[in-house]
C-alpha cells in the first residue's frame, strides 16, 4: 500500500495584515531543550542568512482508540503556540504529526498487554478501522475548535508498515536486535548512551523496578520493535491488524512508527521533536535509540520540547455525572467555549504543571468574554475604514515574551495592557520602556490582532463569539456591537448581577446610546 498522508493548511482566522509567516522579530528565539536541560538560542539546521529558513518539526500525535481528554489537548495547544512563534520568527515550518492506529499496547512501558486499538474495537463492538477513523475525526474536530493550526503532514502508522520494517532490518544489520518468543527486540546495552534524554541510571536500574521483564528480555530497558501475533486460541478472536514481515506475521512496536515516519518525511537529522513530558523516559528515549542506532549519527534531533501534565484538581462535578475523564465535548455541554479553555492554558507556561478546576475555567471564560466585549467596543468606535498602526513598544514586549521559551503568561498579560493604554508612561510593563503617547482605538485593534497570530483566540471576530454566548441577534437599526452588549446585559440582569449590568450600561453609553429598564425590558435611545 502506498504511504498515505494528509497535507493541510491553517483555517485560523487572523486578519490579513497579521498573517505574514515571514515576519522577523527583534530578539532571538530561545527554547528549553530537554536533552540539555537548559534554554538555548534556536539555530535551525537550515540557517541560511538569506532566503526562506526552514524548520523540520515532528510532534507525537494521538493513539486513536478513544477520545482525547483535555490534558492530551494541552500538549497540542503548546505545540500550536510553538508553530505560530516559529512562523512569526520567519521560519517555514514543515510540521509532521503521526496518528497511532496500531502497536500501542496497554502496558506501553513494558511491551505487554493488549493493543489499545483492539481494546477500543472490543469495547464498542466495531472494527479497529472504524474506531481509528472515528476517533481521528473527533480529535481533528477538537483541534479545529481550539484553533490549532493543522500539521503540514499527518501520517498513519498503518500506512507506513513498509518503512518500519525497513528500519528494523537496518537495526538488525547494525547488530542492535535479538529475537525472543514474542517478537524482535532492541538491545539497549549495545548503545553506549542509551537513556541520555531521560538521564536514566542504567547501571543501577534493576529489573522489575521500572518495568516487569518480558520472558527472554536481556535488559529491563529493552523494547519491542516487532511483535508476533498471538497463536490462535479457541474463543479468542484473531488480531485485526497484522502484517507479513521477514520475522513472521505480526505488528510493529509503538516506538518504531515515530522513528520511521519522522525520518521518512524530515530526514535523518531534523530540528525539533515535541510531545508530552510522559514521553521522555520511554517513548522518546527509545525513538532516539532506534534512530541513532540506524544512522550512527548524533544528535538525531537538535531540540526536544515537552509539555507538562494537566492535573485534575476539581473533579467533583465530573464524578457526579459518572465521567472518568474530561473531554472538550464535556466542557462544551457544560457551557464552556473551547477557546475559553485555550485562554486558560495560555495563562500558564507549557513547562509548568497545572491543576485543572472549573473555578479557574469560569474565570477564564469570564475574562475572555470581557476582552471580547472591549474588542467589539473598539471595533464600533474605530469603524471599518480605520487602519491602525501596530504599537512598536508593545510589540517589543510581546516578542521578548514569546521568544523567551514561549512565555505565554507574560504575552497574554499584554492584552490588558493594550486595552487599558492611555499614553501614561507610568503604566506597568514587562520592561523599562515607557509609552510616550496614547494608542488610538484603531492602533489598539491592530496591535491585538498582530498578537492574536500567536494567541489564536480569533479576537477579530469577537462579536461572533459574544453572540453565541448570549444568543444575540441584531434587530432593527441597532448596531450589531450594541445589540451584543444589550443581550449580555440582559443576561447579567437575569442572573441578578447588577454590578455587571451597570458596567455594560456604561459601555453602551460610550457607543452613543442610553439604555433604560422598563417593565423587565431594555429601552434604547440615542444620546
Among 408, 438, 462, give the residue marking a domain's end. Answer: 462
pLDDT at 91: 95
> Is residue 110 pLDDT above 80, yes or no?
no
Q: Residue 169's closest CA among 79, 260, 249, 92?
A: 260
| Shared-domain flag, residues 358 and 423 | yes
Beta strands in 245-308 (DSSP E): 250-252, 270-276, 301-307
pLDDT at 433: 47
| Shared-domain flag, residues 352 and 391 | yes
| Shared-domain flag, residues 490 and 451 | no
pLDDT at 74: 97
pLDDT at 6: 47
Among 462, 493, 511, give the residue marking a domain's end. Answer: 462
pLDDT at 313: 64
Quick check: is 25 in a domain?
Answer: no
Cβ–Cβ < 8 Å for 305, 272: yes
Among 307, 325, 340, give the residue marking a domain's end. Answer: 307
**pLDDT tens-digit readout, 142-154:** 999 999 999 999 9
| Shared-domain flag, residues 247 and 132 | yes
Quick check: is 32 in a domain?
Answer: no
| Shared-domain flag, residues 77 and 161 | yes
Mean pLDDT over 432-444 rounds to: 72
Q: Which residues on neighbouring strands pair with residue 517, listed in sequence order?
A: 522
> Is residue 354 pLDDT above 90, yes or no?
yes
Number of domains observed in the structure of the chain? 3
Q: Residue 363, class by beta-carbon neighbours within 10 Å (0-12 exposed, 13-18 middle, 19+ buried)? A: middle
In the chain, the percentage of residues whose pLDDT exceeds 70 is: 83
Buried b or exposed e, range 416-437, using 16+ CB within 10 angstroms: ebbbebeeeeeeebbeeeebee
Quick check: is 426 in a domain?
Answer: yes
Quick check: is 17 in a domain?
Answer: no
Quick check: is 6 in a domain?
Answer: no
| Shared-domain flag, residues 221 and 153 | yes
- What's the CA gap between 495 and 470, in Å, rounded? 13
| Shared-domain flag, residues 301 and 428 | no
> What would the 3-class secondary structure string for 65-86 be?
CCCCEHHHHHHHHHHHHHHHHH
- What's the CA gap between 129 and 63, in Å, rounded? 13
> What's the CATH code of the domain at 390?
1.10.730
pLDDT at 525: 74
pLDDT at 30: 98
Mean pLDDT over 317-337 rounds to: 72
Higher pLDDT, 257 or 478: 257
Mean pLDDT over 376-403 rounds to: 88
> What's the CATH code of the domain at 194?
3.40.50.620
Instruction: Label residue 474 left, alpha or beta by phi (over 0 means left) and psi (-120 to 50 means alpha).
Output: beta
pLDDT band at 250 (very low <50, low <70, confident <90, very high): very high
| Shared-domain flag, residues 256 and 388 | no
Mean pLDDT value across the chain: 86
Least confident interval from 318-327, 384-393, 501-510: 318-327
Residue 495's domain spans which residues?
A: 471-526
Quick check: is 378 in a domain?
Answer: yes
| Shared-domain flag, residues 266 and 369 | no
> Is residue 474 pLDDT above 60, yes or no?
no
pTM given for the model: 0.83
Quick check: is 277 in a domain?
Answer: yes
pLDDT band at 288 (very low <50, low <70, confident <90, very high): very high
pLDDT at 20: 38
Least confident interval from 19-28, 56-65, 357-366, 508-517: 19-28
Q: What are phi and psi of 323, to 5 degrees?
A: -85, 140
| Shared-domain flag, residues 162 and 224 | yes
Write the DSSP symbol of residue 403: T
Quick check: is 26 in a domain?
Answer: no
| Shared-domain flag, residues 455 and 480 | no
pLDDT band at 107 (very low <50, low <70, confident <90, very high): confident
| Shared-domain flag, residues 488 and 518 | yes
Amino acid at each position: 500500500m502506498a504511504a498515505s498522508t494528509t497535507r493541510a493548511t491553517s483555517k485560523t482566522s487572523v486578519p490579513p495584515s497579521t498573517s505574514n509567516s515571514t515576519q522577523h522579530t527583534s530578539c532571538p528565539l530561545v527554547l528549553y531543550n530537554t536533552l540539555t536541560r537548559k534554554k538555548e538560542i534556536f539555530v535551525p539546521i537550515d540557517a541560511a542568512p538569506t532566503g526562506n529558513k526552514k524548520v523540520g518539526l515532528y510532534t507525537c500525535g494521538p493513539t486513536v482508540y478513544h477520545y482525547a481528554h483535555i490534558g492530551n489537548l494541552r500538549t497540542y495547544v503548546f505545540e500550536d503556540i510553538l508553530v505560530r512563534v516559529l512562523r512569526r520568527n520567519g521560519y517555514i515550518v514543515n510540521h509532521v504529526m503521526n496518528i497511532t492506529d496500531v502497536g500501542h499496547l496497554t502496558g506501553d512501558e513494558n511491551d505487554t498487554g493488549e493493543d489499545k486499538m483492539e481494546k477500543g474495537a472490543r469495547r464498542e463492538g466495531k472494527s479497529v478501522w472504524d474506531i481509528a477513523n472515528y476517533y481521528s475525526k473527533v480529535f481533528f474536530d477538537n483541534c479545529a475548535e481550539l484553533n490549532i493550526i493543522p500539521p503540514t503532514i499527518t501520517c498513519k502508522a498503518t500506512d507506513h508498515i513498509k518503512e518500519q520494517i525497513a528500519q528494523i532490518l537496518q537495526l538488525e544489520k547494525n547488530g542492535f536486535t535479538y529475537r525472543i518468543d514474542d517478537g524482535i527486540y532492541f538491545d539497549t546495552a549495545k548503545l553506549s548512551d542509551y537513556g541520555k534524554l531521560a538521564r536514566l541510571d542504567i547501571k543501577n536500574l534493576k529489573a522489575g523496578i521500572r518495568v516487569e521483564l518480558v520472558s527472554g528480555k536481556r535488559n529491563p530497558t529493552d523494547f519491542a520493535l516487532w511483535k508476533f501475533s498471538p497463536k490462535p486460541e479457541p474463543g479468542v478472536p484473531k488480531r485485526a491488524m497484522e502484517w507479513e514481515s521477514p520475522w513472521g506475521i505480526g505488528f510493529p512496536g509503538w516506538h518504531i512508527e515515530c522513528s520511521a515516519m519522522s525520518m521518512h518525511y524530515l530526514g535523518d537529522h531534523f530540528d525539533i521533536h515535541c510531545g508530552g513530558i510522559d514521553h521522555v523516559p520511554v517513548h522518546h528515549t527509545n525513538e532516539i535509540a532506534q534512530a541513532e542506532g540506524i544512522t550512527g549519527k548524533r544528535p538525531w534531533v537538535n531540540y526536544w520540547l515537552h509539555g507538562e501534565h494537566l492535573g485534575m484538581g476539581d473533579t467533583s462535578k465530573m464524578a457526579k455525572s459518572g465521567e472518568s475523564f474530561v473531554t472538550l465535548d464535556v466542557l462544551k455541554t457544560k457551557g464552556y467555549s473551547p477557546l475559553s479553555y485555550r485562554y486558560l492554558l495560555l495563562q500558564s507556561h507549557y513547562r509548568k504543571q497545572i491543576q485543572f478546576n472549573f473555578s479557574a475555567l469560569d474565570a477564564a471564560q469570564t475574562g475572555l468574554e470581557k476582552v471580547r466585549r472591549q474588542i467589539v467596543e473598539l471595533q464600533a468606535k474605530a469603524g471599518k475604514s480605520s487602519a491602525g498602526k501596530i504599537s512598536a513598544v508593545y510589540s517589543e514586549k510581546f516578542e521578548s515574551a514569546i521568544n523567551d521559551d514561549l512565555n505565554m503568561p507574560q504575552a497574554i498579560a499584554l492584552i490588558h495592557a493594550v486595552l487599558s493604554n492611555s499614553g501614561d508612561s507610568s503604566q506597568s510593563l514587562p520592561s523599562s520602556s515607557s509609552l510616550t503617547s496614547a494608542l488610538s482605538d484603531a492602533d489598539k485593534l491592530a496591535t491585538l490582532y498582530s498578537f492574536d497570530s500567536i494567541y489564536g483566540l480569533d479576537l477579530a471576530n469577537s462579536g461572533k463569539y459574544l453572540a453565541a454566548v448570549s444568543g444575540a441577534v441584531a434587530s432593527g437599526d441597532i448596531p450589531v456591537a450594541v445589540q451584543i452588549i444589550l443581550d449580555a446585559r440582559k443576561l447579567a440582569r437575569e442572573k441578578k448581577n447588577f454590578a455587571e449590568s451597570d458596567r455594560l450600561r456604561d459601555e453602551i453609553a460610550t457607543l452613543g446610546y442610553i439604555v433604560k429598564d422598563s417593565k423587565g425590558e431594555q429601552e434604547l435611545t440615542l444620546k
